[in-house]
């Protein structure tokens, strides 16, 4: 492949992302602009941004490759990644927005009133974020190497630099515009070449490779060993894991209210469904014209290779360049979202060397650089380790930790901080253990090995059970303000009610001595005075 | 005419702060509510909790209903594929039936369920706020 066009396309996408980001800079002045764009983002823009951030390299390149290689059973991945948003919509979207928290640790502290639960959540956010970030960087390196022959670190460094340049000046607000732009870029980058490719396939009547398509274990579901368990475990991980991904959840705070959060999520369902049909078609076309890629172990690059299989010369080059631009946008947007959410949590929770707005923003910028550098270092260290599977495992970790914490925390008054911590430790320990053994290739035979490759069907129910049982055992230590928290999570915003005075920006400005009350008696983020004070509207109505 | 003397307060000052009934003791009359439901909720009374719990229950029932529909359609597909091995021989619009079910049909169902949920959950909330404003 000759790829000067692709290099130009990748550079253009990077420049366009920076320009769009600079356009969104105007108004990001305050702390909350940095984290959540001051919540002033319209539903359509926000839905595009959510979808743009969510559709990673695994969606743009990986789905087509997996369908090419393994056939019908892999259709569960795009379905699971979309249905995950349906479950997020029905169980989590509006209450999470109404909680007013910026991040998952904020939510943990609001609901559980425990600094320990907050710390455990922060560590999990960092772990999940890095686990998800490494495959993005590695994918970028591999793609640029496939296209240009450049060494892997070029692509990794390019993504890292563009992500930093996007996040550092504007925080979340500029990122929102960039990610909305990336969604439409990715959709068009897959859609436009598709018509030409389909036309070319249609012209090739009497295809010699058509025999490769109607292979029994490709076209028929559930043909492999333990296929039923693996499928159900994958379904469980993806359906319930989406709501626990830190970069997905942080996006919900940019909605103006709970209803807008629901409507945004509905738009996301439409946008994701429209997108996910396309890689499936690429995988099927790949089976017709490029089935040799499977044997060569390069199924992941099928999207990028299809144009050169069906066309010659400048047409092939141009189409490859368009697809390369889309793939690079996929790396950029997901990495950016992950970096923003991890850096937000790290700067709020794990390092607290600044207080007040100016220093807070400086801390956020410093941690952004630190997170990107750390992820880059881990990517280099773990080079050669098969991490493509790590994206699937990330969903299993999220489904075994944050998913039960959110579901039980929102819908069950009985969840205590000890129950939540125990459940997150059990679920996180089991799923992370599976991740580690899989990444380092510690093979285990029989059913144990099968469970390790898809741990969700075991770890998710165990995490739920642990949370419920430990909460029941520690019933006397229920959070003090749980009744008020439930009002806050579920009552529509336009009703004037006392929702407590928790504010995510307040707690970390407090001196660390407030943490001695970590066992839930008094909550550092609650202002004692503000708790009993009524707003004027509430009092007036009572007359 | 001297104005009627105000009722003399009871002797000890402590019971004076408690309420003195000045109307006729019609115990059978219905009690009038002078406290709004919103303030019942704010004060975290039993009644206020009942109202919030009813809102939570209606929303949770709706959400679980959506999950149940999803589980009994999409969720049962792997079992269906196992139970009916010849299902791939059935073709719809040129594609094997499992491929159609796992792409177009699944996405249409997900969007439809999401749309249904948004409508119904907003209706639940409207019912709740009408309840609070109606007093």
Q: What string of DSSP letters covers B53-77?
A: HHHHHHHHHHHHHHHHHHHHHGGGH
Please report the residues numbered 61 through 90 in chain A whose beta carbons come closer than 8 angstroms to any beta carbon of chain B.
72, 75-76, 79, 82-83, 85-87, 89-90
* A chain contacts of residue B75, beta-carbon cutoff 8 Å: 235
- Is residue B42 assigned to a domain? yes
CA atoms within 13 A on the CB side of B26: 6
The torsion region of residue A356 among left (phi > 0), alpha (psi -120 to 50) and beta comes to left
Whether A172 contacts A33, CB under 8 Å = yes
Whether A367 contacts A347, CB under 8 Å = yes
Write the DSSP symbol of residue B124: H
* B chain contacts of residue A63, beta-carbon cutoff 8 Å: none
What b/e string do you get for A316-338 counting C-beta neighbours within 10 Å, with b at 16 or more? Answer: bbbbbbbbbbbbbbbbbbbbbbb
pLDDT of res. A523: 41
Please report the residues numbered 153 through 172 in chain A whose beta carbons come closer than 8 angstroms to any beta carbon of chain B.
none
pLDDT at A450 over 90: no
- Is residue B103 assigned to a domain? yes
Inter-chain residue contact A542 with B39, CB threshold 8 Å = yes
Question: How many other C-beta atoms lie within 10 A of the C-beta of residue A111?
Answer: 28
- Is residue B22 assigned to a domain? no
- Is residue B18 assigned to a domain? no
- Is residue A399 assigned to a domain? no
Dist CA A419 CA A433 (whole Å): 21
Residue B56 domain boundaries:
35-133
Inter-chain residue contact A538 with B60, CB threshold 8 Å = no
- Is residue B26 assigned to a domain? no
Residue A498 domain boundaries:
483-536
Whether A411 contacts A91, CB under 8 Å = yes
- Is residue A64 assigned to a domain? yes
pLDDT of res. A511: 36
Inter-chain residue contact A277 with B82, CB threshold 8 Å = no
Question: How many other C-beta atoms lie within 10 A of the C-beta of residue A213?
Answer: 14
pLDDT at A224 over 50: yes
Question: How many other C-beta atoms lie within 10 A of the C-beta of residue A146?
Answer: 21
pLDDT at A385 over 80: no
Same domain flag for A268 and A377? yes
Whether A50 contacts A42, CB under 8 Å = no
- Is residue A408 assigned to a domain? no
Same domain flag for A496 and A376? no
Q: Which residues pair with B96 in a beta bridge?
A: B91
What b/e string do you get for A391-422 counting C-beta neighbours within 10 Å, with b at 16 or more? Answer: bbbbbbbbbbbbbbbbbbbbbbbebbbbbbbb
- Is residue A165 assigned to a domain? yes
Find the CATH number of the domain harbouring A313: 1.20.1730.10
Least confident of A123-127, A351-355, A394-398, A491-495: A351-355
pLDDT at B9 over 80: no
Q: ipTM, 2 decimals?
A: 0.85
- Is residue A388 assigned to a domain? no
Count: domains in chain A: 2
pLDDT of res. B69: 96
- Is residue B7 assigned to a domain? no
Q: Of A333, A360, A382, which residue is a domain's last?
A: A382
- Is residue A323 assigned to a domain? yes
| DSSP string covering A290-314 | -THHHHTT-GGGHHHHHHHHH--HH
pLDDT of res. A312: 83
Mean pLDDT of all residues belonging to chain A = 80
- Per-residue 3-state assignment (H helix, E strand, C coil) for A53-107: HHCCHHHHHHHHHHHHHHHHHHHHHHHHHHHHHHHHHHHHHHHHHHHCCCCHHHH
pLDDT, mean of residues A466-488: 91
Write the DSSP symbol of residue A494: T
- Label residue A265 by pLDDT band (50, 70, 90): very high
* B chain contacts of residue A538, beta-carbon cutoff 8 Å: 38-39, 42
- Is residue A458 assigned to a domain? no
Dist CA A400 CA A462 (whole Å): 8
- Is residue B114 assigned to a domain? yes
Same domain flag for A74 and A214? yes
| DSSP string covering A125-193 | HHHHHHHHHHHHHHHHHHHHHHHH---HHHHHHHHHHHHHHHHHHHHHHHHHHHHHHHHHHHHHHHHHH
Dist CA A272 CA A12 (whole Å): 25
pLDDT of res. A518: 38
- Is residue B129 assigned to a domain? yes
- Label residue B35 by pLDDT band (50, 70, 90): low
- Is residue A421 assigned to a domain? no
Same domain flag for A370 and A515? no
Q: Of A382, A397, A427, which residue is a domain's last?
A: A382
Whether A105 contacts A349, CB under 8 Å = yes
Count: domains in chain B: 1
Same domain flag for A487 and A378? no
- Angle formed by the axes of helices A115-148 and A402-411, nearest 10°: 140
Q: Which residues pair with A489 in a beta bridge?
A: none
């Amino acid at each position: 492949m000759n790829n000067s066009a692709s290099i130009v396309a990748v550079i253009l996408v990077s420049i366009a992302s920076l320009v769009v980001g600079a356009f969104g800079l105007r108004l990001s002045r305050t702390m909350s602009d940095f984290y959540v764009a001051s919540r002033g983002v319209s539903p359509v823009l926000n839905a595009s941004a959510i979808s743009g951030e969510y559709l990673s390299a695994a969606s743009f390149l990986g789905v087509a490759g997996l369908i090419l290689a393994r056939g019908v059973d892999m259709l569960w991945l795009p379905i699971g990644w979309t249905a995950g948003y349906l479950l997020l919509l029905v169980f989590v979207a509006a209450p999470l927005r109404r909680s007013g928290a910026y991040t998952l640790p904020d939510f943990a502290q609001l609901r559980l009133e425990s600094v320990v639960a907050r710390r455990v959540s922060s560590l999990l956010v960092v772990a999940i974020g890095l686990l998800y970030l490494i495959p993005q960087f590695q994918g970028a390196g591999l793609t640029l190497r496939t296209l240009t022959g450049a060494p892997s670190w070029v692509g990794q460094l390019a993504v890292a630099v563009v992500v930093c340049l996007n996040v550092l000046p504007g925080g979340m607000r500029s990122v929102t515009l960039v990610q909305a732009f990336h969604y439409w870029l990715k959709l068009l980058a897959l859609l436009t070449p598709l018509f030409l490719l389909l036309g070319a396939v249609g012209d090739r009547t009497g295809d010699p490779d058509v025999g490769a398509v109607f292979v029994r274990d490709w076209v028929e579901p559930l043909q492999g060993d333990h296929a039923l368990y693996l499928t159900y475990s994958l379904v469980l991980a993806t359906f319930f894991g989406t709501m626990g991904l830190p970069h997905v959840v942080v996006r919900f705070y940019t909605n103006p209210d709970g209803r807008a959060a629901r409507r945004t999520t509905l738009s996301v369902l439409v946008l994701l469904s429209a997108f996910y049909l396309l890689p499936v078609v690429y995988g099927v076309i790949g089976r017709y014209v490029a089935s040799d890629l499977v044997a060569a172990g390069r199924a992941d690059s099928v999207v990028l290779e299809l144009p050169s299989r069906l066309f010659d010369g400048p047409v092939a080059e141009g189409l490859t360049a368009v697809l390369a631009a889309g793939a690079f946008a996929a790396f950029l947007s997901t990495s950016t979202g992950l970096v923003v959410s991890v850096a937000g949590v790290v700067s709020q929770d794990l390092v607290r060397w600044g207080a007040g707005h100016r220093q807070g923003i400086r801390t956020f910028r410093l941690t952004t650089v630190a997170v990107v550098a750390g992820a880059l270092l881990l990517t280099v260290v773990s080079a050669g380790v098969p991490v493509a599977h790590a994206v699937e495992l990330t969903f299993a970790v999220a489904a075994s930790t944050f998913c039960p914490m959110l579901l039980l925390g929102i819908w069950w008054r009985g969840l205590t901080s000890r129950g939540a911590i125990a459940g997150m430790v059990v679920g996180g320990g089991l799923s992370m253990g599976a991740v580690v053994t899989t990444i380092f290739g510690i093979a285990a035979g029989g059913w144990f090995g099968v469970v390790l490759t898809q741990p969700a069907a075991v770890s998710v129910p165990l995490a739920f059970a642990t949370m419920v049982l430990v909460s029941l055992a520690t019933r006397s230590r229920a959070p003090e303000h749980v009744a008020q928290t439930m009002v806050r999570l579920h009552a529509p915003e336009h009703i004037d009610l006392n929702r407590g005075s928790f504010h995510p920006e307040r707690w970390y400005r407090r001196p660390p001595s407030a943490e001695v009350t970590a066992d839930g008696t008094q909550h550092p983020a609650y202002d004692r005075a503000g708790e009993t004070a009524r707003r004027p509207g509430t009092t007036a109505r009572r007359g | 005419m001297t104005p009627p003397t105000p009722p003399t307060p009871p002797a000890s000052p402590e019971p004076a702060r408690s309420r003195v009934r000045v109307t006729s003791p019609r115990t059978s009359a219905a009690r009038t509510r002078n406290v709004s439901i919103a303030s019942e909720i704010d004060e975290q009374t039993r009644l206020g909790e009942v109202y919030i719990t009813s809102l939570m229950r209606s929303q949770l029932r709706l959400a679980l209903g959506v999950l149940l529909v999803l589980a009994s359609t999409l969720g049962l597909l792997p079992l269906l594929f196992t139970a009916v091995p010849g299902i791939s021989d059935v073709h719809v619009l040129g594609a094997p039936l499992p491929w159609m079910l796992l792409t177009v049909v699944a996405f249409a169902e997900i969007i439809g369920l999401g749309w249904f949920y948004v409508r119904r959950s907003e209706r639940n909330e409207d019912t709740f706020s009408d309840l609070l404003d109606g007093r």
